[in-house]
Structures are given as structure tokens and as C-alpha cells.
Amino acid sequence: MTPPLRADAARNRDQLLATARLAMAEGDLALQLNDIARRARMGVGTAYRHFPTRRALVEALADSAFTTLIEEARNASRHDDAWTGVEVMLRALLLRQLTNPAFAEVIATGPDQDAAAQTTAHRAEFRAAARSVLERARQAGSLWPDLTDDDLHHLVCGTALALRIGDEPTSRIDRYLRVLLDGIHAGQP
């Protein structure tokens, strides 16, 4: 359906993504297309051709995180202990968000009107993998049954946001994650 990209175009696209990733790593979360284009030494027009909106760029940056996370969620669903599976998955989801702000943005905001097919597919795959992890824990009675999949999704995003407020997020991950896990864990303390 989509014809393959011309060699120079593919090179430029990659270059833009690399530059954007670098900018993000440097803490520039605004990711202004004009700016990225300048830093990547190419015309603004080229940048907008590849990523019509800032959101499109952000979604492209989130892709790799999605791939990893889906794999992690599937592994978590095969853990011997259902609850341990939940712990592993939520930790992974939280870490990905801290590591990759673009991913955090995509996962925190709802599905986008005109998202790339790739992103929509990833989102669905992750939801499915997560559902199986959570459902297993519910059946085992270790997850409060009144918490929906969406609730958990929101709560993890909220925890990630809580970490971003203030300094040194990484040093607080374990504490905040424990609060979340204790909060959603039913049964024995």
C-alpha cells in the first residue's frame, strides 16, 4: 500500500528522528519541528513532510518503547505468580515512561484521531497483553476487583507524572511504585 521511501528521504527521516531523540535526551521536551529541522541541518519543509505535526514525531519516537514494552508485558503474563506478573509489568511501564518522555506522552493521552497505523496497532497489542496479566491477577484475587484496566493505566501514568514533579525521579521510583502496588494489592498486606 505504502510505496517504499526513496533512499534520501529515508536517510532524512532517520536523521530527524535521531536529532529529536537527542533533543529529548537533553531535556528539550517541546520538540519544535522548526528547531529539530535546523539542528538536523535541513529545511523546515522536509521536517514537516515527514512529520506533519509534532504529535506525529512524538509517536514515531514512542514506537521503539512500545515494541519493548509489549514484549515485557507478554513475558509478565507468563510469570509463575500472577501478582509478580503485575509487579513486573507495572514497573516496566513506569520505567519506559521515565526513559522515554515521548512514550509517556503517547501513553498518557488517549488514542489520537489521526495516529499512524503503527501506533494504533501497538496500543492495541499492549492493551491485550496487559489485560491478560491483570485478568490473571484478578482471578487469583490479588488485585482489587473494582479497579478496571483503565484505572490501572491511569494510575501508572499518574505515578509517572508524580515522579516527574520535583527532582531526581529515579531515586524515588521504588518508593512510589511500592505505594502504587500496595494500593492496588488485595488480600494479605
Partner DNA sequence: GTTGAAGCGGATTGTCAATCCGCTTAGGTA
Partner DNA sequence: TACCTAAGCGGATTGACAATCCGCTTCAAC
Site residues (vs DNA, CB under 7 A): 3, 5-9, 11-12, 30, 32-35, 42-46, 48-50, 52-54
Compute how many other C-beta atoms are within 10 angstroms of the C-beta atom of residue 151.
Answer: 12
Nearest Cα to 95, choosing from 111, 79, 107, 78?
107
Q: Which does 30 bind (CB under 5 to 8 A by kind): DNA, its own copies, none?
A: DNA
Q: Which does 159 bind (CB under 5 to 8 A by kind): its own copies, DNA, none?
A: its own copies
Rank residues 31 and 156 by Cβ distance to DNA and give the closer one. Answer: 31
Candidates 61-69, 71-79, 125-133, 156-164; binding stretch for its own copies (CB under 8 A): 156-164
Does 140 interact with its own copies (rule: CB under 8 A)?
A: no
Helix (H, G, I), strand (E, B) or coil at 167: coil
- Concatenating the DSSP letter of every residue in 111-165 gives --TT--HHHHHHHHHHHHHHHHHHHHHHHTT-B-TT--HHHHHHHHHHHHHHHHS
Q: Which does 184 bind (CB under 5 to 8 A by kind): its own copies, DNA, none?
A: its own copies
Task: Answer positive or negative: Cα dihedral of 159, 72, 110, 151.
Answer: negative
Helix (H, G, I), strand (E, B) or coil at 110: coil
Identify any residues that bridge with 143 across adjacent strands, giving them in sequence order. 185
Rank residues 26 and 168 by Cβ distance to its own copies and give the closer one. Answer: 168
Distance CA 163, CA 113 (A): 28
Rank residues 37 and 184 by Cβ distance to its own copies and give the closer one. Answer: 184
The footprint of its own copies on residues 51-110 (CB under 8 A) is: 108-110
Positions that interact with its own copies (CB under 8 A): 108-110, 144, 146-147, 150-151, 154-155, 157-163, 165-166, 172, 175-176, 178-184, 188-189
